[in-house]
C-alpha cells in the first residue's frame, strides 16, 4: 500500500454505516502513550526520536493488527501528501509540522492509524463509521494490550499513563463522535446545545478537530479530561450525551418537515442544482451545499445518491485530494475548477 492507493479507496469511517448513520458520521478512540525512560518528544533529542521510531516499528511488525499497514516517514513525503493525510483524518496538523523523527502508520482500511513522535511518543487512533464507541474501544484496547507486551509505557500508579499534556493523563483516552447537525443549526438551537455540552465538560470542535471551526454543520464532541475516569466511564458518559444530541437533531428535523417542508425541499434541491451544474466552486461553498444534500438523502428527499457518496465528496473536494487526483499541484483557481468537475462527475451533473 502507498499513498496513491488511498485516493481510490474509501476509508471505513466514510461508508455511512453503523448506528444512526443519518446523523453520526464516525466514532473515534484515541490513546496517548509514551515509552518509559525516553524523554517526551518536546524534550527529546534526535537520537531519542529515532529510538522511539525503531522500537515502535519493531513492535508493530509482530502484531497481527498491523499486518496490512504501512509506515510513512513524514520527512520523506511532500507537503501535498502530508495535507492529504490530514484531510483523511489520519494525522494532525501538528504532526505534519517539523517532520524530523516523525512517522505515521496507517492500516489498509484506515481504521487504525498511529502518529509516532507527535506531542507524545504514540498517538493511537481507531475510527469507525456510525455511532459505536464501545466496539471502537474494544479494538483499541486489544491493540494497546498487544503493544504493552512489547513496549514498556510510562505509567504511574497514582497518575496513570504519563503524557505531555496533563489533561491527557490517567487513561490518556479521548473518545469522540462526529455528528452532522444541520437541523439544529437551521433552527438556531445549536448554540444552546453547545453551551450545555461545555457545561458538562465536553469539548465541541469542527470537522478537523482541535483548533478548527464547525463547517458543513459538522461537530466533533469529545471528553476533555481522562484523569480519574475509567475508559468505561468515559464511553458511557459520551454515549449518554450523544444520544441526547441525536434526539434533539431528530426532533428538529421532524419539526422542519412539519412546519417548513416546502422551504426545506427548495433549499435542498437548490443546493443539489448548484453542485450538479457549477463549473467553478470553492471548498467552503461546496461543504455547505453538500451538507444540505446529505440532509436531503437522510430525509429520503434526494433519490439515487447514497450517503456514502456524499461522505466521500466531503473528503475528495479538499485541496490535497484534488491535487492527488490531478497528479500535480494546482493553484486556488485551478482547484476550484477541478472541484466542480469532480462533483459533477460524482453526482451525475453536466
The DSSP string of 84-146 is HHHHTTSS-HHHHSS-TT-EEEEETTSSEEEEESSSSSEEEEEEEESS-HHHHHHHHHHHHHH
Residues 156 and 242 in one domain: yes
Q: Cell triple for residue 210?
A: 482541535
Task: Specify the pTM.
Answer: 0.92
Residues 129 and 87 in one domain: yes
280 in any annotated domain: yes
Residues 227 and 324 in one domain: no
pLDDT score recorded for residue 268: 97
254 in any annotated domain: no
Task: Provide the CATH number for the domain around residue 226.
Answer: 3.30.590.10
Q: Which of 196, 224, 249 is the last residue of a domain?
A: 249
Q: Which of 221, 249, 277 is the last residue of a domain?
A: 249
199 in any annotated domain: yes
Domain that residue 340 falls in:
261-347
Q: Strand pairing partners for 24?
A: 179
87 in any annotated domain: yes
Could you give the number of structural domains in the chain? 2
pLDDT score recorded for residue 210: 47
95 in any annotated domain: yes
Residues 234 and 278 in one domain: no
pLDDT in tens, 19-70: 999 999 999 999 999 999 999 999 999 999 999 999 999 999 999 999 989 9
Residues 224 and 128 in one domain: yes
Q: Which of 227, 249, 271 is the last residue of a domain?
A: 249
Residues 303 and 174 in one domain: no
Amino acid at each position: 500500500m502507498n499513498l496513491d492507493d488511498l485516493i481510490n479507496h474509501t476509508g471505513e469511517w466514510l461508508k455511512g454505516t453503523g448506528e444512526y448513520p443519518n446523523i453520526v458520521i464516525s466514532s473515534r478512540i484515541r490513546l496517548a502513550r509514551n515509552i518509559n525512560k525516553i524523554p517526551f518528544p518536546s524534550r527529546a533529542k534526535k537520537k531519542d526520536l529515532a529510538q522511539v521510531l525503531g522500537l515502535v516499528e519493531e513492535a508493530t511488525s509482530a502484531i497481527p493488527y498491523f499486518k496490512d499497514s504501512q509506515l510513512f516517514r513524514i520527512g520523506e513525503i511532500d507537503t501535498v501528501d502530508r495535507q492529504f493525510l490530514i484531510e483523511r483524518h489520519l494525522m494532525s496538523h501538528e504532526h505534519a509540522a517539523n517532520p524530523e523523527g516523525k512517522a505515521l502508520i496507517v492500516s489498509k482500511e484506515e481504521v487504525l492509524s498511529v502518529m509516532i513522535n507527535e506531542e507524545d511518543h504514540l498517538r493511537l487512533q481507531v475510527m469507525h463509521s456510525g455511532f459505536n464507541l464501545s466496539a471502537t474501544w474494544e479494538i483499541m484496547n486489544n491493540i494497546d494490550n498487544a503493544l504493552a507486551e512489547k513496549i514498556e509505557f510510562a505509567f504511574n500508579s497514582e497518575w496513570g499513563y504519563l503524557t505531555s499534556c496533563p489533561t491527557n493523563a490517567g487513561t490518556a483516552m479521548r473518545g469522540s463522535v462526529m455528528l452532522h447537525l444541520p437541523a439544529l443549526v437551521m433552527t438556531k438551537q445549536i448554540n444552546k446545545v453547545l453551551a450545555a455540552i461545555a457545561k458538562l465538560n465536553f469539548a465541541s470542535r469542527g470537522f478537523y478537530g482541535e483548533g478548527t471551526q464547525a463547517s458543513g454543520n459538522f461537530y466533533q464532541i469529545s471528553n476533555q479530561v481522562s484523569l480519574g475516569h475509567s475508559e468505561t466511564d468515559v464511553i458511557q458518559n459520551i454515549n449518554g450525551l450523544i444520544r441526547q444530541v441525536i434526539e434533539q437533531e431528530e426532533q428538529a428535523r421532524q419539526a422542519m418537515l412539519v412546519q417548513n417542508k416546502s422551504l426545506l425541499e427548495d433549499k435542498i434541491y437548490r443546493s443539489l442544482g448548484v453542485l450538479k451544474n457549477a463549473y467553478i466552486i470553492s471548498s467552503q461553498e461546496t461543504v455547505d451545499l453538500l451538507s444540505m444534500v446529505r440532509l436531503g438523502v437522510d430525509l429520503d428527499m434526494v433519490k439515487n445518491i447514497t450517503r456514502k457518496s456524499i461522505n466521500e465528496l466531503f473528503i475528495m473536494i479538499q485541496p490535497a485530494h484534488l491535487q492527488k487526483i490531478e497528479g500535480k499541484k494546482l493553484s486556488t483557481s485551478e482547484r476550484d475548477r477541478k472541484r466542480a468537475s469532480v462533483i459533477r462527475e460524482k453526482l451525475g451533473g453536466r
